[in-house]
Structure 1
Amino acid sequence: MHDNYVVGNVTSIDGLKISVLMNEQSNLESFHCDGVIYDGISIGSYIGIIRGSHKIICRVEKEFLQDKKNEPSVQEFSRDRFERYIEVSLVGDIYRGVFEFGIKRFPMIFNEAVLLTEDEIRSILQKGASNSSQKLSIGESVSNHIPVDLAWDKLFNTHIGIFGNTGSGKSNTLTKIYTELFAKENTEIVENFGGNSKFVIFDFNGEYIKDGVLHHGKNSVKLSTLSNKGEKLPLTSRVFWDIETLSILYSATEKTQRPFLKSAIKYYVDHVKHDITSETIIQGLGSSFYNIFKQNNNKEMLSLLHKSLDIIDFDTKATYYDKQGEAIDLSWLNALWHSQSNTYYTKEGVYLHSIETNEIVSKSEGFVYALRHTGAFNVIRRLTATEKLRVAVHSQLIYFLAYGKVNFEHINPLIQRIESRSDFIEKTIRLSEDQEDGGLLTVISFRHCNSEAKKMIPLLVAKQLYDEHKKKVSDASGIMKTVHLIIDEAHNILSSQSTREEESWKDYRLEVFEEIIKEGRKFGFYITLASQRPYDISPTIVSQLHNYFIHRLVNEQDLKMIANTVNTLDTISRNQIPTLAPGQCIITGTSFEMPLLIQVEKLSKEKSPTSESADLVKLLT
């Protein structure tokens, strides 16, 4: 029995470039020898070079012919005129049956080149998982059809990027690796992890909420801004009234709007109850009434008060009575602004620029009495969180305008965003007294959400998850809990090319995720990104990923992004990306010694995400 099947000899060693002269019968597709089947030589395949007791492992990068006669004037072709050469790169070394990556030694001239057995190729492909007892199946190698396993204990404690054009198999790969992980739930995950790992998926297209996909016990949250029938994300009052949360939800700018919003929250929110009480709202409206007519210096103030009164259904034209049964004079609420005189005036022609303070106080007290003893009070008691916020910021802006602390044009965009976004926030968020645990896996679907909700809610959830987890880990002696955030179609929220939002807010959004991906690993917080357009994603984020699953990409900008950020790709693997077939994937990164080209196993229809193309033939039946 032959120990090795010799196919050539080393003829040139130029640094890391090794040239091998192949034998005449070395170009077959497969070889049979002593009951052993060997695969033939092709670009991307592996061969061995015998040096003493070591077998140096190389990867084929180039194949070419050399003219032995070297007579360009002679055009005739003859078989014995040309010699077949291959150029290979060093990969590792097999010694005593054990494969090790890295350049241990160089071959020598005339060393024999040999074919590798299936077991030897398997040891190369499976090196990352061979020493681990925690394996999950992913597919098989494209060239050798050898099953490939991944060591999940070395993969899921890293940031992962999955990229590929539509139809390339990107969603199947994402689902496959996590389906295999959750299939181990009865042993490693539930029993050994003790419920200390949490997985959250941002599902922008509703692909993963179907029963049977990923995990049978997942918690699906189907958000909707189209109707009030959608599910809602639970937030505690403490979290909702946090200035960070509100700044995210309403895109408050850092230098002007955020300080204003913070002052409103500080004044109106009870920091024991973590809410704005009915009494605080009434006092705020009474103070607004007083400030408007005491300062009498801005035409926008009374309009802001009317917006608050509309929220609580207070009719400014109705007649209200005090405890003595006398009508309360609220005619000032219907005052008009005189531009030339810069003052409010009533319809009766009374100018309010020289009113005594006592009279203003009296009118204000009557207004407050009307608020407490009419139907408006019952409305105030039932106000939602966003309605309370709107009343609070209106009252705070009246105060700031009255005393010249802000410019209306700087704060008004924030007021408008609060009014416009409150509707989708009410439809997607509910306040809960306790922080609810979604279990092992939570899928948040944004399929029926508008574009604003798709940008704001994921950012809010990601930041809250990260901040809470970071605090827990910082208070502990080590990383005893992990959070895994999975973002499908990540370009929806991580785009650095978006022009639909203010530059300052886009910078803030990207900074949040860049901090998570830079620092998260130290706290056990990991991100998996999947996208068909890696170029749209911030280069900082893409470059900080540890492992990559790269499917077919054809756009030149996407390919440049991959080339510039993924430094573990070799030339051969990089050139293969535009021609990969559906399901084929190049795996590379810190958890892998070298790039692997595999065919990811196709999931069954019951376990596959709903991302397939339409079957036009079915439309005919």
Structure 2
Amino acid sequence: MKNKISNDNFVAESILKIGSVSEVKGKNIIIRVDKNKNAPHLIFDGKIIKNVSVGSYIKIAKGYNEIIGKIEGEFISEDKDLNINNYTNHKNKIKRFLNVTLVGYIDTKIFRQGLKELPLIDNDCFLLNDIEFNCIHSFAKVDDEKIKLGYLLNETNTPIELGVDKLFASHIGIFGNTGSGKSYTLSKVYHELLNKYKENPKFQNNAKFILIDFNGEYAVENDSDNIIIEKEYKNRFFLSTSKNGKDKFPIPESEVNDLTFWSILLKATDQTQKPFLNSSLFRKTLVEHTKTEIGIKSLINNTISTILTQGGKNLDKDFHIFFLDELFRLNNHTSIFKNIKEVRNRIKSGLKIEYGTYVLENIKNNDKPSEFLERLKEIIKTLVIDLTKINAFIKIRLQIIINYFDVITKGYYSKEHIGPLYNRLDTKFNEITKVFAVINVDKIMANKKPLVIINLNDVNVEMKKIIPLVICKYYYEYYKKNNLDREKYLNIIIDEAHNILSRNSIRESETWKDYRLETFEEIIKEGRKFGVFLTISSQRPYDISDTIISQLHNYLLHRLINNKDIEAIGRTVSYLDKISFDSLSILPQGGCILAGLSADLPVVMKIDKLPEENKPHNETIVLTSKWK
């Protein structure tokens, strides 16, 4: 039976035929190259085309079947059958062989991955014509919605277009060393998508992209900020732990009233500090009494009374004054107590110690305890409280303060056990109230701008780990509960992801690190069910959990130099062939390997240029321009 290509065009057969199958070992085969096809280029149909080379594709004709293979190496062998006594060119003594890995087949002008059958010995092998070459590199169907990201690195006439559904309904990984084009690629991917759908009302209603920007590359504080997309299509939050009056990211009250939130923030230990936080947050007396002015006064009065009447010998003798000082310090940040200084001074000056017992001035030692406590109660009644200034954060802090002094006085907890957590309270509250604002959940979700950029450039190292976790956890939990029909779409984009997905961090406890990684691993494993996807970009894939990298569906891999980073990619990315993997360390700037579900085969591509105004703010400084 003649090969299909012979039937179609005998001339094309003679020009494009390069050799025949010499050996078959499963999907790995060896092809013997015809001796007249060793030139680097061929002329076909008026065009100069590349001859066989490592990394290119060939077609094996087996009857009417067209099997596609990728050349992964070549070697030569001396032709022992040639009569060496005959006068001949030295080149004729050499036989050239190709190591080829089978990758798929062409079925009615559509390339399909996988093997339907294996070739046979002496099956003819051919270079691909233009139609076949484009067929292999067409990753989206004709009627698919698609975006163009660039073109083949060595074939600039071949564009790379990807289907929107295959690319964005997946987890995406973008990896590469500094200066390799990683941030540029991230900007290009989302510029193309947002620019395509930005005017579509359904897109505005159903799609949300949250970009965690650690280094301030994707947003600048001016009116001409069009990085990735025009300013009117995005919300920007410039958070700061060092300055007052900066932006605050909105979270609902339900997130503030969450034990995990405060355990993360205050680094609570599981055995003692977490149970203390739990009682502070959810003890009914505290929760209900901190809602009203009368209730707050009652809590303050009861706490001081308990200290004065039930405090043991090991309790600090001025423990009640410490409690008043804590309320005074809270007031310095919030102004909820209008006359706390006056009340504190009256109680402080009105109390003295006689024979180891607390008494009020002008009250004799033989007075009844009830009269003693009544006088204290009257002083606290004069306290003026502004409830309008008590938000969810202040309410929680007040509950923690009151509960701390109550449980220490009653001996439920030791100061050595919960004191470290309490001592972190003031600093952490100052930081958290600078970056978060409590807003109704409906208002948060009502915003129709598709892109949200959270700039963490002016946030301290510790809060840089906490803020993304709180935000990602909240949005994931919300979509998990409210998006079971998957009408809505959320893509969480984390640039410099090694900052929060590192498995090797030594700045935190194992418990906190495990919780952080488990949270993101759950998102990447289960998020697809609820319309939640992750895009992570990093220059250190080695630092990121193998579980997270292995669960990604699409990869854009720029140049990687460090051996450990290259090993991490080889260990976890199953879509790469040997040629692509070996080229990771020699890719040019802007060049990247595309691999994954959206591309039938790994390809080396060059990312298209972005409009100048949409480029990320990460250009390398030109030193000589600053020194001349």
- The answer on whether the counterparts of 1:294 and 1:357 sit within 8 Å (CA) in structure 2 is no
Q: Which amino acid aligns with 1:446?
A: L
Looking at structure 1, the residues matched to 469 and 257 of structure 2 have their Cα atoms a distance apart, in angstroms, of 16
Q: Deviations over 1:80-136 (max 9, x none)?
A: 22111111111111244332221122222222211112221111111x312552110
Distance 1:270 1:397 in 2: 12
Alignment partner, residue 17 of structure 2: 6
Q: How does 1:75-90 map to 2 (within 5 A)?
A: 78-90=90-102
The aligned residue for residue 93 of structure 1 is 105
1:558 maps to 2:565: yes
Structure 1 CA distance, aligned partners of 2:308 and 2:118?
90
Structure whose residues are more often helix by fraction: 2
Match of 2:598 among 591, 610, 614: 591
Correspondences of 1:190-229 after superposition (within 5 Å) = 190-193=200-203, 195-210=205-220, 211-216=225-230, 217-229=233-245
Distance 1:80 1:125 in 2: 36
1:38 equivalent in structure 2: 49
Query: 2: CA distance between counterparts of 1:357 and 1:156?
Result: 79
Identify unmatched segments of 5+ residues in structure 1.
Answer: 322-326, 336-345
Q: Quick check: 1:164–1:552 contact (8 Å CA) kept in 2?
A: yes
Q: Percent identity?
A: 35
- In the superposition, the TM-score normalised over structure 1's length comes to 0.88
| 8 A Cα contact 2:315 2:409, kept in partner | no
Tell me the distance in 2 between the aligned counterparts of 1:133 and 1:255.
Answer: 55
Does the CA contact (< 8 Å) of 2:35 and 2:92 recur in 1? Answer: no
Deviation (angstroms), 1:276? 4.4
Q: Distance in 2 between matches of 1:284 and 1:22?
A: 90
Structure-1 separation of matches of 2:235 and 2:91: 67
Paired residues of 2:323 and 2:405 also in contact (CA < 8 A): yes
Specify the code of the residue in structure 2 equivalent to 1:259. Answer: P
Aligned: 1:308 with 2:317: no
Asked if 2 retains the 8 angstrom alpha-carbon contact of 1:268 and 1:280, the reply is: no
Mapped to 1, the partners of 2:347 and 2:489 lie a distance apart of 62
Instruction: Look up the match of 1:469.
Output: 479
Q: Deviation at 1:3?
A: 3.4
Residue deviations 1:126-147, cap 9 Å, x none? 1x31255211001111232211
Q: Hey, what does 1:408 align to over in structure 2?
A: 415
TM-score (norm 2): 0.87
Tell me which residue corresponds to 1:175: 187
**Pick aligned residue for 1:399 from 393, 406, 409:** 406
How far 1:213 sits from its partner (Å)? Answer: 1.6
Summarize the Cα distance change of 1:278–1:432 in structure 2 as closer, same or farther, 3 Å threshold.
Answer: farther
The 5 Å alignment of 1:220-619 reads 220-267=236-283, 276-297=291-312, 298-299=314-315, 301-302=319-320, 303-312=322-331, 330-331=348-349, 346=353, 350-352=356-358, 361-374=370-383, 377-378=384-385, 382-383=389-390, 385-433=392-440, 435-436=443-444, 437-438=446-447, 439-474=449-484, 478-619=485-626
**Per-residue CA shift, 1:229-264, capped at 9, x if unaligned?**
311112233432333333333233333222211211
- Equivalent pair of 1:28/1:40 in contact (CA under 8 Å): yes
* Amino acid in structure 1 at the alignment position of 2:570: A
Cα distance change, pair 611–77 in 1 and its aligned pair in 2 (3 A): farther
Task: Give the corresponding residue for 2:71.
Answer: 60
Q: 1:150 to 1:289 in 2, by over 3 A?
A: same
Q: How does 1:72-151 map to 2 (within 5 A)?
A: 78-126=90-138, 128-130=139-141, 132-145=143-156, 146-151=158-163
Alpha-carbon separation, structure 1, partners of 2:177 and 2:113: 32
1:77 and 1:315 map into 2 onto residues whose CA distance is 104
Contact conserved, 1:91 with 1:102, CA < 8 A, in 2?
yes
SS at match of 1:88: strand
- In 1, are the aligned partners of 2:75 and 2:96 still within 8 Å (CA)? yes
**What's the offset of the Cα at 1:202?**
0.5
Distance of aligned partners of 1:221 and 1:51 in 2 relative to their CA distance in 1, 3 Å threshold: same
CA separation of 1:367/1:112 partners in 2, compared to 1, >3 Å: closer, same or farther?
A: same
* Greater mean deviation of Cα atoms: 578-587 or 591-600: 591-600
Q: Give the whole-Å Cα distance in 2 for the aligned partners of 1:378 and 1:304.
A: 17
Pick which of 50-59 and 584-593 moved more: 584-593
8 Å CA contact 1:484–1:528 kept in 2: the answer is: yes
- In terms of mean alpha carbon deviation, does 401-410 or 543-552 score higher? 401-410
How far did residue 560 of structure 1 move?
1.7
Q: How many residues align?
A: 591
Q: Matched residue of 2:613: which SS?
A: coil
Distance 1:351 1:388 in 2: 33
* Cα deviation 1:17-55 (Å, max 9, x = unaligned): 211111234343432123344322211100111222222
Measured in 2, the distance between the counterparts of 1:186 and 1:382 equals: 39
- Distance change (3 Å), C-alpha of 1:368 and 1:511: farther
Q: Check 1:492–1:279 CA distance in 2 against 1; reply closer, same or farther (3 A cut).
A: farther
